[in-house]
Amino acid sequence: MKFLKTKLAIALFAAGLSFSAAAADITVAYDADPVSLDPHEQLSGGTLQMSHMLFDPLVRFTKELEFEPRIAEKWERIDANTFRFQLRKGVKFHSGNSLTADDVIWTFNRLKISGDFKGVFAPYDAMVKVDDYTVELKSSEPYPLVLQTATYIFPMDSKFYSGEMDGKDKAAIVKHGGSFASTNVSGTGPFTVTSREQGIKVVFERFKDYWDTKSPGNVDKLTLVPIKENATRVAALLSGDVDLINPVAPNDHNRVEKTKGVDLITVPGTRIITFQMNQESNPALKDVRVRQAIVHAINNDGIVKKIMKGFATTAGQQGPAGYAGYDAALVPRYDLKKAKQLMKEAGYEKGFKLTMMAPNNRYVNDAQIAQAASAMLSKIGIKVDL
């Protein structure tokens, strides 16, 4: 079930920031702290955000959802199963090592064994070296999403991460900390980490040998502070303790907008908030009519208007406009009468019990959305244990 496409909102204390050519030192409050410095330990928004600061992908999305070259300068399809990438020369890692095809292939092989990323890279058999600055990505069969996949390949410094430390493999991927890669980093990105206290703050400084000298921005020092609670994050901004916050919860928009010297900036987001139906958890979910009834029972528009305060777009499919495969004809199907009829046809007119798991404070209004969905399902007899 696709509920909504969220938008992103940040607020900055404009009076305290200077966007001139002079170097800036800013403190930013986010809602979650990356659990690790290892880009392959967890597939999450926080990890990807960190990866773009400390590493560079082969290819990157623009704001218009087009592809732009980063570590890969250009690319071409060689045959149905082979994609060739020409790598940028002269790129340095934070360690001082030079990036080559060996680093990209080493990174790809590590992604293939990452618990969180191996599914993304399952369509590929191998990445092979053509020369020091050319690699070919080979899929097991024709695959249309190669460039999308390339946005997840952030080349790591294979020399830096190879070998052992204290008798442990430096390249090991260890969930929830304790590995070399979770506490040490050498990427090609615009910033380096100068200090990190898990759950308290991470301090970044601009990498003086960053390859992209045309990259916009004048921030030389950046401190990220995790503040989980929405109201506390806003209070930190308004008191001047931080210069910028992200995200700003819909309930806080008016307060932020009315505050002198604070700017609220919104941009479209691509995150789709969904509930997945695990057919192994309840035999009723194996019946397509029950699954369709659940979809028809959820009022997506109501969630967007009442809970998200209009700060989201109702979604009827897995990808937003601009993504490959988007079909404007696929829209939400809220119809309570039809939902009840489907439940009756499936033999569940009296309903059944269902367990639902949902995050709390990971996404904007996530718990409230889950609670609303539970209440909506009760109208077709489904009693939810949330």
Full pLDDT tens readout for the chain, 386 residues: 554 555 556 666 544 343 344 568 999 999 888 889 999 999 988 899 899 999 999 999 988 889 999 999 999 999 999 999 999 999 999 999 999 999 999 999 999 999 999 999 999 999 999 999 999 999 999 999 999 999 999 999 999 999 999 999 999 999 887 899 999 999 999 999 999 998 899 999 999 999 999 887 889 999 999 998 889 999 999 999 999 999 888 888 888 988 988 999 887 777 888 889 999 999 999 999 999 999 999 999 999 999 988 888 888 888 888 787 889 999 889 999 999 999 999 999 999 999 999 998 778 889 999 999 999 999 999 999 99
User: Assign residue 365 a region: left if phi > 0, alpha if psi is -120 to 50, beta otherwise?
Assistant: left
Output the 3-class SS for the chain: CEEEEEEEEEEEEHHHCCCCCCCEEEEEEECCCCCCCCCCCCCCHHHHHHHHHHCCCCEEECCCCCEEECCEEEEEEEECCEEEEEECCCCECCCCCECCHHHHHHHHHHHHHCCCCCCCCCCEEEEEEEECCEEEEEECCCCCCHHHHHCCCCCCCHHHHCCEECCEECCCCCCCCCCHHHHCCCCCCCEEEEEEECCCEEEEEECCCCCCCCCCCCEEEEEEEECCCHHHHHHHHHCCCCCEEECCCHHHHHHHHCCCCEEEEEEEEEEEEECCCCCCCCHHHHCHHHHHHHHHHCCHHHHHHHHCCCCEEECCCCCCCCCCCCCCCCCCCCCHHHHHHHHHHCCCCCCEEEECCCCCCCCCCHHHHHHHHHHHHHCCCEEEEC
pLDDT for the residue 318: 85
Distance of CA 383 to the CA centre of its chain: 32
- Pair 93, 99: CB distance under 8 Å: yes
pLDDT at 3: 47
Q: Which of 237, 256, 193 is closest to 33 using CA atoms?
A: 193
In the numeric block, which tokens belong to residue 75? 């690319």
- Please state the φ and ψ torsions of residue 236, each to the nearest 5 degrees: -65, -35
What is the rounded CA–CA span in Å between residue 104 and residue 57?
Answer: 10
